[in-house]
Chain A
Amino acid sequence: MRYAMVIDTKKCVGCSDCVVACQNENRVPIGYCRDWVIENAKGTFPNVSIELRSERCNHCENSPCVRCCPTGASHYEEGGVVKVTRHECIGCGACVQSCPYDARYSHPDGFVDKCTFCHHRLQEGKLPSCVSVCPTECMYFGDLDDKESKVYQLLQNRDWKVLAPEVGTKPHVYYLI
């Protein structure tokens, strides 16, 4: 099993609902976030285009954060979910520095926090909170090892990219373009 998130930039309207829903679901304190939204504009008026995309931890296959964690708090779960075990985390912040996507933050309660792909919801058979709230349904979640899955199909049939492929992290959040 290999969990992946596929996000359609053609549909995202940049509303940030994914951010608020995540904050509520995961009790992320106000002022912090596990996901965020980016707007990139190209061209000159009136030949302009924009790309909107919701970003978060990429649950990389080759994660610098897991590699550099001195206590083993940062680790892989089943399906490739990268997680932090809070009581093992000493809050040193090495992982925060090593993440090329700036996906981690130091929680005021003294540990490092980031997107978990809503692991607690996956265990209940639910979709991640951001995926299930998104009004445009531009986010898809599933198992890339399953050829029948929507995520697999989308990556077969559409153009896509990952963020910063050059750093070799092998991200598992994909953007349809």
Chain B
Amino acid sequence: MNKSRREFIKLSAIGAGGLVLANPLLNAMIGQVNAAEPMDASKIKRFPTYCEVCFWKCAGWVYTDEKGEIWKIEGNEDDPHSNGRFCPRGTGGIGMYNDPDRLKTPLMRVEENGKQTFKEVSWDKAFRFIAEKMNKIKEESGPESLALFKHGSGGAHFGKLFKAFGSKNITAPSYAQCRGPREVGFNTTFGSNINSPEPVDLENTKCLVLIGNHIGENMHNSHVQEMSKAIDRGATIITVDPRLSTAASKSKYWLPIKPATDIALLLAWMNVIVSEELYDKNYIGQYAYGLEDLQAHVADKTPEWAEKITTISADVIRQTAREMAFHAPATLIHPGRHVTWYGDDTQRLRAMAMLNALLGSWGRKGGFYFPEKAKVPTYPHPGYPPVNWTWKDHLDGTYALADSSIANVFVDMSHPENESDYKIKGWFVVGTNLISTIPNTQRTLEAIQNLDLLVVVDTMPMEITGYADIILPECTYLERYDDMRVSPNRFPNVAVRVPAVKPKYLSKPSDWIVRKLAKKLKLSKHFNYESYSEVIDWQLKQMGSSLAEMKEKGVLKMERKTPMFIEEGDYHEFGTSTGMIELYSLDLEMEGFDPIPNYTPHPEPPQGFYRLNYGRAPMHTFGRTANNPNLNELMSENCLWVNPFVAADNNLENGQEVWLKNQDGVVSDFPIKVRITERIGKDNVYMVHGFGRANKKLKRSFGRGISDTQLVTNVMVDPIMGGTGMRGNFVSFVTDKPESEVIS
């Protein structure tokens, strides 16, 4: 991309500039009080919140000290997401507030001396600019040409603004880049989505099966807690992972599978369970549709067949299948979360759902429970205007089974090559760094160049902020009210978020930003309140509580109305078209896909290349926390896990910096340090996602480690729901500094 209209502006051009290397002594001066003396307990206050450092949304308490500054954040004991214990990121959420690199004022892209730069502007000027552009787009091509990419609670406020403005083109990368395939895989089997948090009864499970799911490295808080209790109880854990993950290290069986062959293993497990008649006969007899088809389908998918594909011995396959059956129905094949791997992910997740079905674990203790969600009344507002089209019209029936919008399709609709009638001209990007969430960065950047408006709302400078026309600084969750947390769980509950401190700098809560912008757009009638606390208080009063009461409690628990599990003697109706558990999927058949999953071989790394795998670290949430002073200190960069044989073959030493080059010739912007470890096999390398930040304004994380997303240029799209499979990329090592131009 040369001389583009929307150059990436190095944010260091404004503000302090200069790269400060992580230095504990320098960091020590940030925000944290070095108070040696005990605090005056009478001055300590606490405020309820729910955490926004990840999507688990744990409820807890923010404590402020005698100066009114945040002292610590702890879990709320009544909260089923945290049970009184926050994860390291939630505990370190204080660093989001204290981070001196936060976005501080609205910034506008201007041209000065032939060079683009960001200039500080007032909120009013920012709103006038945005409203003008929005109205222009509306006049020229209709309000639907504005799209919203969102993540987190801030995004919800913007969703309302979009609907009031006349666009339902709203999306979140958490579907097609993450959990979408499992929703479709389970929905086509049980007629129910998984949603968040996953309704898995880890608390009572006797056998937990993890397919590439690294609980403990992903800190899905209550699940980590429950897995630990399962370990205490002596539950069997079976982990399938090419790497000795933390969970694998705690498992009775670790199956170091050859990457990309999971479906073969799942089919062989079903072969054993069906051919040895180990399945739950009553449950299957009563509820399942298509057992004979499945029997015929897996008849030749023997453990011996799978051993050749997966490298897992036939004996181990039989043994683990029998162990699962032994503990059934308290056997849980965990659906996982980030499952967009190879493009046939919906089918893999369906195979996992079917295995759960054979073991009778859906709706059973130790398997999956039926969650319940609190009903919260909507704050009264006038109806939203009708829209003329949405992203669905653009897709015209493709990905019909996707039950949520597909972020990468929005990129397609914004791209100059889009020839359909449905064109997107402007983006709001709220709380999501699209550059590192949507694969194929180049294409995203081409789409960005084609936009008439790009508004970015965030707490921190990210790569995406560098491409914005206008940047709006959102305050952190610790400084604002938001919608109540209403998540399905074992019992219905809501949690409130109340500001513990005032917004720092000129940052503002999203609800304020939306209200002010709505005024400029003459849409104020939709936002009929002065502070968001009024909305929450009104809702709580309808529910028989109040904001005042919730400031004391934080979490409101309610009674269940329906049974948590299928009860003995009860008949359960499933949400599929047959009303039964579909081992043979009629929906998939109708859409022209395999009604029962098949194993298809995937490409293997060419000579000298290794499959690039990536995952999570417990102290970070993607790139969001890389610059957080408290969490950066725990892990300031990712490293590249390499098997000792691979290291020897490539003359690599522990700690050596290498660049990576992928199969398409893309070289990483930054180097990464090699970590030679026996925890990984010879055909793949591994790194934690979220590092290699390319925005210089992120002083602690700029250029530390590398971004896996940058190397994911081969995207295997799931034909069923449009998910972007990202694990078919292969890398080789570059040991000398490449000459290619680095962004910053």
- Chain A interfacial positions (CB closer than 8 Å to B): 10-11, 13-17, 19-21, 23-25, 27, 29-32, 41, 43-46, 48-50, 52, 86, 107-109, 111, 120, 132-138
Give residues in B with beta carbon < 8 Å to A: 23-25, 27-28, 30, 32-36, 38, 71-75, 84-88, 91-92, 94, 216-217, 219, 221, 224-225, 227-229, 231-232, 244, 246, 249-250, 254, 256, 618-619, 629-631, 633-634, 643-644, 677-682
The answer on a CB contact under 8 Å between B34 and A109 is: yes
**Residues of chain B contacted by A44 (CB below 8 angstroms):** 644, 678
18 CB < 8 A contacts A-B: A10-B250, A11-B250, A20-B88, A20-B92, A23-B32, A30-B27, A30-B633, A31-B28, A41-B679, A45-B643, A45-B678, A45-B681, A50-B244, A108-B28, A134-B85, A136-B224, A136-B227, A137-B228
Which A residues are CB-close (under 8 A) to B88? 15-17, 19-20
A residues in contact with B246, CB < 8 Å: 13-14, 50, 52
Nearest to A29 among chain B residues (CB) is B28
Identify the closest chain B residue to A31 (Cβ): B24
Closest to B223 in A: A135
Residues in A neighbouring B618, C-beta threshold 8 A: 13-17
CA distance A124 to B36 in the complex (A): 19
Q: Which residue among A24, A25, A30, A86 has the maximum number of chain B CB atoms within 10 Å of its CB?
A: A30
The distance in angstroms between the C-alpha atoms of A31 and B250, with both chains bound, is: 31
Cα distance A107–B35 in the bound complex, in angstroms: 11
**7 other A-B residue contacts (CB within 8 Å) besides A27-B33, A31-B25, A109-B34:** A11-B232, A16-B619, A30-B28, A31-B28, A45-B256, A46-B681, A107-B34
Measured between C-beta atoms, what is the minimum distance from A16 to chain B in Å? 5
Contact A32 B221 (CB under 8 A): no
Which of B221, B224, B619, B678: most chain A CB closer than 10 A? B678
A contact patch SS:
loop
Nearest CB in chain A: distance from B232 CB, A: 7
Determine the distance from Cα of A44 to Cα of B256 in the docked complex, in whole angstroms.
Answer: 13
Contacts A135-B221, A135-B224 given; does A43 touch B232 at CB 8 Å:
no
Contact present for B216 and A10 (CB under 8 Å):
no
CA distance A24 to B633 in the complex (A): 14
Contact across chains for B28 and A132 when beta carbons are under 8 A apart: no
A49 neighbours in B (Cβ, 8 Å): 249
Chain A's closest residue to B83 (CB) is A135
Report chain A residues within 8 Å CB of B72. Answer: 21, 24-25
Q: In the bound complex, do residue B36 and residue A86 qualify as a contact, i.e. CB atoms below 8 Å apart?
A: yes
Q: Which residue of B lies closest to A51 (CB)?
A: B249
Given known A17-B87, A41-B679, contact A31–B27 (CB-CB < 8 A) = yes
CA–CA, A138 and B87, complex, Å:
14
Which residues of chain A have C-beta atoms less than 8 A from B216's C-beta?
13-15, 136
Q: Are B36 and A50 in contact (CB under 8 A)?
A: no
Distance of A44 Cα from B227 Cα, bound (Å)? 26
Q: Which A residues touch B92, using CB under 8 A?
A: 20
A2 CA / B452 CA spacing, docked (Å): 69
**Chain A contacts for B84, CB-based, 8 A:** 132
The answer for the CA separation of A27 and B25 in the assembled complex, in Å, is 15
B228 near A136: Cβ-Cβ < 8 Å: yes
Q: A135, B228: Cβ atoms under 8 Å?
A: yes
Partner of B34, one of A14, A27, A137: A27
Residue of B nearest to A46 (CB): B256
Chain A neighbourhood of B28, CB < 8 A: 29-32, 108
CA distance A23 to B632 in the complex (A): 14
Across the interface, A30 reaches (CB within 8 A) one of B24, B227, B619, B681, namely: B24
Give the distance in Å from the alpha carbon of A44 to the alpha carbon of B680 in the complex: 9
Q: Please, how many angstroms separate the alpha-carbon atoms of A46 and B683 in the complex?
A: 13
Give the chain B neighbours of A120 by CB distance below 8 A.
38
Contact B679 A48 (CB under 8 A): yes
In the complex, what residues of A have CB within 8 A of residue B34's CB? 27, 29, 107-109
Query: What residues of A have a CB within 8 angstroms of the CB of B36 in the complex?
Result: 27, 86, 107, 109, 111
Bound complex: CA of A38 vs CA of B38, how far in Å? Answer: 30
Chain B residue nearest to A45 (CB atoms) is B678
Find out whether the CB atom of A13 lies under 8 angstroms from the CB atom of B217.
Answer: yes
CB distance from B648 to the nearest CB of A (A): 13
Q: Complex Cα distance A32/B27, Å?
A: 10
User: Most A CB atoms within 10 A — which of B27, B38, B85, B629?
Assistant: B85
Closest to A13 in B: B216
Contact, CB under 8 Å: A32 / B244: no
Q: How far is the CB of B632 from the nearest CB of chain A, in Å?
A: 9
- Asked if B679 and A50 make an inter-chain contact with CB atoms under 8 angstroms apart, the answer reads yes
Given the interface pairs A24-B94, A30-B629, the reply to whether A10 lies near B32 with Cβ below 8 Å is no
Q: Find out whether the CB atom of B221 lies under 8 angstroms from the CB atom of A20.
A: no
Of all chain A residues, the one with the shortest Cβ separation from B220 is A135
Collect the chain A residues with CB atoms within 8 Å of residue B30's CB.
Answer: 30
- The docked-state distance in angstroms from the alpha carbon of A50 to that of B228 is 16
Enumerate the 5 nearest inter-chain pairs by beta-carbon distance, A residue then B residue, closest first: A31-B24, A13-B216, A15-B618, A136-B228, A24-B72
* A residues near B629, Cβ cutoff 8 Å: 30
CB-based nearest B residue for A50: B249
Contact B678 A41 (CB under 8 A): yes
CB distance from A20 to the nearest CB of B (A): 4
A137–B225 contact, CB under 8 A?
yes
CB-CB under 8 A from A109, the residues of chain B are: 34, 36
Whole-angstrom distance from the CB of B710 to the nearest CB of chain A?
Answer: 27
Is A108's CB under 8 angstroms from B25's CB?
yes
Q: A135 contacts which chain B residues (CB < 8 A)?
A: 85-87, 219, 221, 224-225, 228
Question: Chain A residues near B38 (CB, 8 Å)?
Answer: 120
In the complex, the chain B residue whose C-beta lies closest to that of A11 is: B228
Point out the residues of chain A lying under 8 angstroms from B681, CB to CB. Answer: 45-46
How many angstroms from the CA of A135 to the CA of B73 in the assembled complex? Answer: 14
Residue numbers in A under 8 Å from B229 (CB-CB): 137
A109–B36 Cα distance when bound, in Å, is 8
Contacts of A15 in B (CB 8 A): 87-88, 216, 219, 224, 618-619
Q: Interface centre among A14, A24, A43, A111, by most B CB within 10 Å? A: A24
CA distance A145 to B52 in the complex (A): 43
Known contacts: A24-B94, A30-B28. The answer to whether A133 contacts B619 by CB under 8 A is no
In the docked arrangement, what's the CA distance between A24 and B86, Å?
13
User: Residue of A at shortest CB range from B72?
Assistant: A24
Nearest CB in chain A to that of B222: its residue: A135
Assembled-state Cα–Cα distance A30/B228 (Å): 29
User: Which residues of B sit under 8 angstroms from A24, Cβ to Cβ?
Assistant: 71-73, 91, 94
In the complex, what's the smallest C-beta–C-beta distance from A41 to chain B, in angstroms? 6
Q: Which residues of B contact A136 (CB under 8 A)?
A: 216, 224-225, 227-228
- CA A19 – CA B91 in complex, angstroms? 10
> Bound complex: CA of A21 vs CA of B631, how far in Å?
11
The contact of B630 among A14, A20, A32, A48, by CB within 8 Å, is A20
CA distance A111 to B227 in the complex (A): 41
In the assembled complex, the CB of B620 is this many whole angstroms from the nearest CB of chain A, namely: 11
**Nearest residue, chain A, Cβ from B227:** A136
State the CA gap A165–B86 with chains docked (Å): 33
Q: A15-B619, A48-B244 are in contact. Are A20 and B225 (CB under 8 A)?
A: no
* Alpha-carbon gap, A116 to B38, bound state (A): 13
In angstroms, Cα B250 to Cα A66, docked, is 38
Q: What's the least CB distance linking B354 to chain A, in Å?
A: 28
A-chain residues with CB within 8 Å of residue B619 when the two chains form the complex: 15-16, 20
With both beta carbons as reference points, the residue of chain A lying nearest to B75 in the complex is identified as A133
Min CB distance A24 to B, Å, is 4
A133/B679 in contact, CB under 8 A: no
In the complex, residue of chain B having the shortest beta-carbon distance to the beta carbon of A15 = B618
Bound complex: CA of A91 vs CA of B634, how far in Å? Answer: 26
Shortest distance from the beta carbon of B676 to any chain A beta carbon, whole Å: 11
